[in-house]
Each structure stands twice: as C-alpha cells, then as structure tokens.
C-alpha cells in the first residue's frame, strides 16, 4: 500500500466538502419547490374568498366573487357598477369574471333570494339600462320608468310594490329617469332618450319566458288591471 502524501488528505477533504455543498444545494432547491407548491395550493384554496372593492349605494364595500355574482343576478349590481380591478376603477361590464357563472342552467337566472322590487340604476340614476339584462326568467318582469317629480308615478308606486311583494310570479324593476341634481322630469336623460320616453309612468312587461309582451299604453292598462284585481283601494 502506497503511503499517502501530505497533500492527499486535503484533496479528499475538499471532495467531501464539495459533495456536501451539492447535497445541501439539492435540499435547498427541493425545499424551495415544496414551499412554492404549498403557496400555490393555499392560494387556490382561498381564491374563492378573495374580496373586491365595489361602489354601490353611494359607498365602497368589499364583496367576494360569489356575492358579486349574486348581486348581479338579483339586479342590485348592474353592468355600470364600478369595481376596483388592476389598480383602477372599471364598470362591472368590463370585469373579466362577470360572464363566468352568472347564469344558471340553460341561461335561466337563479330564483333564490330575488327581491320583488328593485331600482336598477340606483347607483347612477338617469343612466342607460338594457332591460334584457335584468329580466327574471320564470316570472313576469315589470319594468317601471319613473321620476320623483311625476305625480302618477308616486301615486302608483306603493300599490305596484305591494302587488309584487304579494305575488311571487311577478317582479318589479324600477328605473329612475332623473339624473342627480336635475329638477323636474328629466326627459333628456340618457335612459329617457334610450327608450324614447314621451310619458311616464312607462311600463315594459316581459313574460316568464323572457320575451317582451307589452309596452307603453298597453302595458299600462295591463298593470292597472292587475292592481285592481289584487289590491283593494285603501289597503
């Protein structure tokens, strides 16, 4: 056996240190990968609980994706409702998540917790409203264009709201034609021009199948007939 020279031990020792460094390097990479995987899984599990800032009813609130979808189905949130997304405020209609999971089976709206009466443009009175976006399939949807400066609108409102509350087959979706700060009936508001309004209250009625049935004078007479049948005067 050849006698080891004095400089062979350091070479052997250096090889051990080198192997040790490689081993620790491998372990560090494995730990980093495992930690990254854990973060990914944790984020995925909590993604449904992420909240978004929404401006509604004159204030900013935090809502989950599920709450936003529910609010949109019910009409409490509209396509014009502002949402804070990627460091800026955008209308809900531009939010990528809006179209995912909004409709129920076969495009029908979910029938759970649908309010009988709702003002569609409460966040932006006078703004345009696409009626087809707020039709509640499976129920008769009555769209009521009104102004607080319209006497007949104010008079019929409580009867119409009571009618919808007592009859689950009907819902009322009210549309305020007056822009903020405007005194008198705002015939030149965007929503009034959009629907070519010449008189109010103006009704548009969609059937349970989601198709428009009556509008204008014919719809007005239809609503009066329902109210006379269901609600006794003075109650």
Closest CA to 144 of 216, 225, 209: 216
% the chain with pLDDT above 70:
69
> CA-to-CA distance for 110 and 102, rounded, in angstroms?
9
The 10 Å Cβ neighbour count of residue 107 is: 9
Band (pLDDT 50/70/90 cuts) for residue 31 is low
**115-235 maps to CATH 3.40.30.10:** yes
Position 14 scores a pLDDT of: 44
Structure tokens at 214: 């009556």
Between 46 and 121, name the one with better pLDDT: 121
Between 117 and 28, name the one with better pLDDT: 117
This prediction's pTM: 0.56
> CA-to-CA distance for 163 and 74, rounded, in angstroms?
18
- Which part of the chain has CATH 3.40.30.10? 115-235
Between 78 and 187, name the one with better pLDDT: 187
74 cis-preceded (ω within 30 degrees of 0): no
Task: Check pLDDT > 50 for residue 4.
Answer: no
Between 77 and 190, name the one with better pLDDT: 190
**42-76 pLDDT, tens digit each:** 444 444 478 888 988 778 899 888 888 777 766 77
Size of the chain, expressed as the number of residues it contains: 235
Between 34 and 56, name the one with better pLDDT: 56
Band (pLDDT 50/70/90 cuts) for residue 174 is very high
Position 47 scores a pLDDT of: 41
Structure tokens at 66: 């599920």
């Amino acid at each position: 056996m050849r006698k080891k020279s004095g400089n062979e031990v350091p070479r052997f020792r250096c090889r051990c240190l080198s192997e040790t460094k490689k081993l620790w390097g491998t372990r560090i990479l494995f730990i980093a990968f495992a930690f990254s995987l854990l973060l990914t899984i944790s984020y995925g599990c909590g993604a449904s609980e992420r909240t978004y800032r929404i401006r509604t009813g004159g204030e900013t609130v935090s809502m989950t994706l599920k709450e936003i979808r529910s609010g949109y189905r019910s009409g409490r949130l509209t396509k014009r409702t502002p949402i804070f997304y990627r460091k800026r405020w955008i209308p809900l209609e531009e939010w990528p998540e809006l179209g995912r999971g909004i409709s129920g089976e076969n495009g029908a709206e979910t029938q759970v917790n649908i309010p009988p009466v709702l003002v569609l443009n409460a966040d932006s009175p006078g703004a345009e409203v696409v009626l087809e976006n707020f039709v509640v399939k499976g129920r008769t949807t009555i769209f009521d264009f009104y102004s607080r400066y319209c006497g007949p609108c104010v008079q019929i409102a409580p009867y119409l709201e009571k009618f919808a509350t007592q009859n689950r087959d009907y819902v009322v979706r009210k549309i305020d034609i007056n822009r903020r700060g405007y005194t008198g009936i705002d015939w030149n508001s965007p929503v009034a021009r959009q629907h070519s309004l010449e008189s109010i209250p103006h009704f548009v009625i969609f059937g349970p199948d989601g198709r428009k049935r009556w509008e204008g004078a014919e719809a007005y007479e239809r609503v009066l007939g329902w109210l006379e049948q269901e609600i006794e005067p003075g109650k």
